[in-house]
Chain A
């Protein structure tokens, strides 16, 4: 078989390297937290602390996304949808960001307005999208974040809204290009949108595929990210 002759199977390389990187990052984060707990109160918190927490989750999100994009590219990203309790899902996403929110002094709230307490989607994949959007939103938010889940027709809509200055106009206009992966120079946000759109589209029901949308406004007036799941 041809794969045997290539020496290195890149799929294994990237998977095991990301795995090691994430383990290393996890140890770093947990040790950092333990060390922080030993510091006197006046040295805890502060801007540097917020930056570090933010970059930790940014790094982690990028690693997840890197592996996800790679697996998408070689058609090896599994999709395994199931029923999940929506409040549990949102609480878990916010809990993961708890330190960042605390140190950046951001108040995060959530609201669920659906008939069923359960949603049907791939928890890990949607969590990686929402996690990245949250990391991004905490960076641009003033002091408030709102996650909401509602229904639009047959679709479940997960929105993340902040009270920052919102997405640049140019980005809103070109969102379809990002989603299609056309604009390669859009940097990390563009890549994030592309990843989110691909994950959304992996969710399909009766020929309808999931999608994403960005806008400005919403209840908090800043950036508004929406994920539609059929």
Chain B
């Protein structure tokens, strides 16, 4: 039998009886260091203070509390446990836990209640053996070195090829992290040809999505759902592929299916709410956002967007009918929460106030609505962050409805300046205004930017830079143009960028410093920022 005298254990269960009896089983196995927690929140705090070798986590920890899956995600994403830690999910019934689990974060093993001492000892011993076998891989994972993971996998496969299947997942993740996409595609297709598993389909589908091959991604997810129709995460991927192709109705249907199988998923509910809102299905939208808000209370994926979405959906649902008392209370509650929890976020403060004002106007209280609008506009003037496209459009529309056409136009102008190179954005803006000073502002800059990109791709860097500079002078807050200019400057500057170019580069980035974190170009912005400003 293994020696557990030096190992630390954490038992997480809301039942006192279970904690006691599991603890006494562990003691009989020679374990000396056992801590217990009765909630996920407590477990996270304890893992923050102490490195555990083993975590026995009960899946169900009561309604409104984090469940075992959420605890596992938090532990891994916040790096509170090492990959070498043995994490066992204890369940009364595992099929539910499997459906509720996220494909990307799986426990090392499930242990089904009831279990006895012999059964527990057997599982622990086997899992320790497995972790010992995989140790070099797990250590490389802890250090965040995907290249080393591949080396360790290759070594293990050479040493004992019979255990090669245990490395598949680690190899795929490492190839993805190293951006070796062609290899990854071939690798995943090879696995699918012999032994398909849900995670393989998900990895391949996501790879296609990342490359913008939306139709192929859809094909992969279709095939996946035929083989594994009860895996909610595969519906998520399918929905994403459909959204990218503009099929928002079918995408909504997919997410509804996923939510039916696994209703406990904050991000899925929020995504469903957003889709339903777009599809003008306000009943489904308010239902989904309501779930997202209430489940968000115990989740790392809590988001103010769900609160704002819920308020919006409730208002749209009742358009032309005022708002009843219950709805007003609900809107009030979710919006106050946003204002209270995001004191520093000017954008959210403005949006919550305007949403509130719009709801008051709908409820017939024009006077208070005007007062709130006034407050929101004062904050708006001082704001230096950019709204996301969706937020900008909503705010502009609300300002128009609240009788503030000038302020609405200025929001739209800002939106066009920042995002106007995207034709989809221009279409949406055109729905809200026909003012030529708003709509026509970008054409020239966008043309110059397009020519610049062409020259850049053709290797004519200084010509490209010239175009980008001209474009940027016209639209200094356009994210694409600013990032393109910065990139061209750095490329021309070479290894040691001359101070003047570096300064110009810094100015470019500073002018688009308001870029929202949710923007798809944020990562590119962050990397450039890191290069020219240092860490």
How many angstroms from the CA of A166 to the CA of B94 in the assembled complex? 32
**Chain B nearest CB, measured from A23 CB (Å):** 5
**Chain B nearest CB, measured from A214 CB (Å):** 25
List the A side residues contacting B92 at CB < 8 Å. 18-19, 22-23, 26
Is B122's beta carbon under 8 Å from chain A? Answer: yes
User: Beyond A33-B116, A82-B197, A118-B166: 5 further Cβ-contacts under 8 Å?
Assistant: A19-B60, A22-B114, A80-B197, A80-B228, A120-B165
Q: Which of B95-103, B216-224, B305-313 is the interface stretch?
A: B95-103
Contact call B17/A78, Cβ cutoff below 8 A: no
**Chain A nearest CB, measured from B11 CB (Å):** 13
Count CB-based A-B contacts (< 8 Å): 106
List the A side residues contacting B230 at CB < 8 Å. 75-79
Secondary structure of the B contact surface, majority rule:
helix
Closest A-chain residue to B119, C-beta based?
A95
**Chain A nearest CB, measured from B132 CB (Å):** 13
How many angstroms from the CA of A76 to the CA of B126 in the assembled complex? 30
**Partner-B contacts on A (CB < 8 A):** 15, 18-19, 22-23, 25-27, 29-31, 33-34, 56, 60, 64, 67-68, 71, 75-83, 85, 88, 91-92, 95-96, 98-99, 116-118, 120, 123-124, 127, 205
Contact call A98/B116, Cβ cutoff below 8 A: yes
Contact call A92/B123, Cβ cutoff below 8 A: yes
Q: Which of A26, A56, A96 contacts B18 (CB 8 A)?
A: A26
How many angstroms from the CA of A27 to the CA of B14 in the assembled complex? 13
Contact call A30/B119, Cβ cutoff below 8 A: no
**Chain A nearest CB, measured from B399 CB (Å):** 36
Given A26-B113, A80-B231, are A92 and B119 also a contact pair (CB < 8 Å)?
yes
How many angstroms from the CA of A229 to the CA of B128 in the assembled complex? 27
Secondary structure of the A contact surface, majority rule:
helix
Most buried by A among B21, B121, B261: B21
Contact call B231/A60, Cβ cutoff below 8 A: no
List the B side residues contacting A56 at CB < 8 Å. 114
Given A91-B122, A98-B118, are A27 and B95 also a contact pair (CB < 8 Å)?
no
* Chain B 162-189 interface 0/1 with A at a Cβ cutoff of 8 Å (1 = within): 1101100000000000000000000000
How many angstroms from the CA of A217 to the CA of B228 in the assembled complex? 37
Contact call A19/B93, Cβ cutoff below 8 A: yes
How many angstroms from the CA of A205 to the CA of B114 in the assembled complex? 32
Is B229's beta carbon under 8 Å from chain A? Answer: yes
List the B side residues contacting A127 at CB < 8 Å. 112
List the A side residues contacting B126 at CB < 8 Å. 85, 88, 91-92
Q: Which of B116, B122, B163 contacts A118 (CB 8 A)?
A: B163
List the B side residues contacting A23 at CB < 8 Å. 15, 92, 113
How many angstroms from the CA of A49 to the CA of B60 in the assembled complex? 31
Q: Which of A79, A82, A99, A120 contacts B228 (CB 8 A)?
A: A79
Closest B-chain residue to A64, C-beta based?
B93
A-B contact pairs, 18 of them (CB 8 A): A23-B113, A26-B18, A26-B92, A30-B17, A30-B18, A30-B21, A30-B114, A76-B261, A77-B95, A79-B230, A80-B197, A80-B198, A81-B197, A91-B122, A91-B126, A92-B119, A99-B116, A124-B98
How many angstroms from the CA of A110 to the CA of B493 in the assembled complex? 70
Contact call A67/B119, Cβ cutoff below 8 A: no
List the B side residues contacting A123 at CB < 8 Å. 110
Contact call A71/B95, Cβ cutoff below 8 A: yes
**Chain A nearest CB, measured from B153 CB (Å):** 14
How many angstroms from the CA of A6 to the CA of B230 in the assembled complex? 23
List the A side residues contacting B115 at CB < 8 Å. 96
Closest B-chain residue to A53, C-beta based?
B116
List the A side residues contacting B163 at CB < 8 Å. 117-118
Is B130's beta carbon under 8 Å from chain A? Answer: yes
How many angstroms from the CA of A102 to the CA of B231 in the assembled complex? 40
Q: Which of B17, B119, B122, B198 contacts A27 (CB 8 A)?
A: B17
Q: Which of A25, A77, A98 contacts B114 (CB 8 A)?
A: A25
List the A side residues contacting B113 at CB < 8 Å. 22-23, 26
How many angstroms from the CA of A79 to the CA of B487 in the assembled complex? 48
Closest A-chain residue to B101, C-beta based?
A80
List the B side residues contacting A76 at CB < 8 Å. 99, 230, 261
Is B427's beta carbon under 8 Å from chain A? Answer: no
List the B side residues contacting A91 at CB < 8 Å. 122, 126
Most buried by B among A25, A78, A123: A78
Contact call B96/A15, Cβ cutoff below 8 A: yes
Closest B-chain residue to A30, C-beta based?
B21
Given A34-B24, A85-B130, are A67 and B93 also a contact pair (CB < 8 Å)?
yes
Q: Which of A29, A75, A88 contacts B229 (CB 8 A)?
A: A75
Given A19-B60, A96-B119, A117-B163, are A80 and B17 also a contact pair (CB < 8 Å)?
no
List the A side residues contacting B231 at CB < 8 Å. 78, 80
Contact call A15/B18, Cβ cutoff below 8 A: no
